[in-house]
Amino acid sequence: MHRRFPLQVVSSMTWDDANSRLIAIVADNEGTRSKPVYRSALYTIDPKDTYKDGNSTMVRVTKVRDLPGNPSVAGLHIVEQAAATDAPAGPSALSVEFSSPAALTGAVCFKAPPLSNGGKPLTGSVLAQVSINGSVVATLGNIAPGADVRTQALDFPAGESTVRVVMASPELRGEKAEITVFAGEDRPAPVADATLDITPEGWAAISWSAPSTGVNGGTVLPENLRYNVVRVPDQVAVASGISACSFVDKTLDPAAMRTVSYTVTALNDAGTSEPVETNSCLSAGAMSVPYIETFDNRDDFDLWQIINTNPQGAWKYATSEPRYAYYQYADDKTRADNWLISPAIRLYAGKAYIAFDTP
């Protein structure tokens, strides 16, 4: 919208994405307060066109023209319009081929359109403008319609970037295509298959699979991955910055904790993954006899394996006093065929054992 002076002096500015510049309509009073002389003009501002003014770096402002009638404009913006039917269609197969995994330089590759936006074969050569995050980084000319195009190596900022390619003919601006890419090394995704086993020696053996990608879909270099391992019950870091995908905790004390689990976190120079917790195990590897289970807390119940063959019923844990494990039958009282299996119990050859119920 716009209004004429002197009701309100309003200036407005917008970003010209097609040319990577600012466009402004600036209104001002070139006279005095008692004898105002109102003027408005159109300006362009190129952020890359700078000059020195003493110790300051200035951005050059270019006056395009005075505006007839001296309008005061608010909410200036550019409406993106579809390309003309005779203009080139957009490029296809747009991609970035980085110079090496996790590199910050790479070539933008695409296939030039063979047809116009209206579906007719293009004649003569076409042009392409390549931009990264809104800044034009390459302008290519003399491209044959339908040709495979590859730019020279271009610089990318670390992290996620938007790459856009706009086609054009000498007379008309054409359609565009854009993709999002990740440059540099990404922060690791969480590890997979984190598993805990208790060895015959009573040690905790933790293993996992390295992440193959980053949290943003970017590259992680296997040689840069390191891992932290933390014992969960007492929050003790048992390993820090190791490169192997396994670790044996020989400091586990079964007398100090009945159950144990561990978290594994991957890290590199780009950051740290979310921790992944292993399964829980008896810290002693197996229960010793005599073994009595009173299910005093949920952790005791979680040590037992549940096999629910009949999904209509289920083994459950009573959280109110008195606490106990119980089986909830299906409404139709169908056969249960569901099992609650104790944790491992250590028995010795040559000895006799009996099982009994407590009153």
| pLDDT tops 70 at residue 358 | no
CATH class of 92-183: mainly beta
Round to whole Å and give the CA distance between 54 and 255: 74
Average pLDDT rounded to a whole number, residues 65-87: 82
Number of H helices, E strands in the chain: 1, 28
| pLDDT tops 80 at residue 132 | yes
Round to whole Å and give the CA distance between 352 and 359: 23
Task: Using alpha carbons only, give the angle 116, 174, 41 rounded to the nearest 5 degrees.
Answer: 150
| pLDDT tops 80 at residue 135 | yes
Average pLDDT rounded to a whole number, residues 120-139: 95
Q: Which of 211, 220, 213 is nearest to 102 (CA)?
A: 220
Residues of the chain with CATH 2.60.40.10: 92-183, 192-282
Distances (CA, A) of 87 to 51, 91, 330: 36, 12, 69
> Do 139 and 151 touch, CB atoms closer than 8 A?
no
| pLDDT tops 50 at residue 39 | yes
Q: What pLDDT shows up at residue 5?
A: 46
Identify the helix (H) or strand (E) that includes residue 159.
strand 159-168
Nearby residues of 273 by Cβ (< 8 Å), 6 or more positions away: 187, 188, 189, 190, 191, 211, 215, 265, 266, 267
| pLDDT tops 70 at residue 17 | no
Average pLDDT rounded to a whole number, residues 185-200: 95
Share of the chain above pLDDT 90, in %: 50
Identify the helix (H) or strand (E) that includes residue 111.
strand 105-111
Task: Using alpha carbons only, give the angle 189, 192, 197 rounded to the nearest 5 degrees.
Answer: 140
Q: Which of 291, 301, 355, 297 is nearest to 326 (CA)?
A: 301
Q: What pLDDT shows up at residue 259?
A: 83
User: Strands 71-73 and 92-98: what pairing?
Assistant: unpaired
Q: What pLDDT shows up at residue 131?
A: 96
What is the CATH superfamily name and number for domain 192-282? Immunoglobulins (2.60.40.10)
> Do 215 and 196 touch, CB atoms closer than 8 A?
no
Q: What pLDDT shows up at residue 94?
A: 98
Q: What pLDDT shows up at residue 224?
A: 97
pLDDT, mean over the chain: 88
| pLDDT tops 50 at residue 1 | no
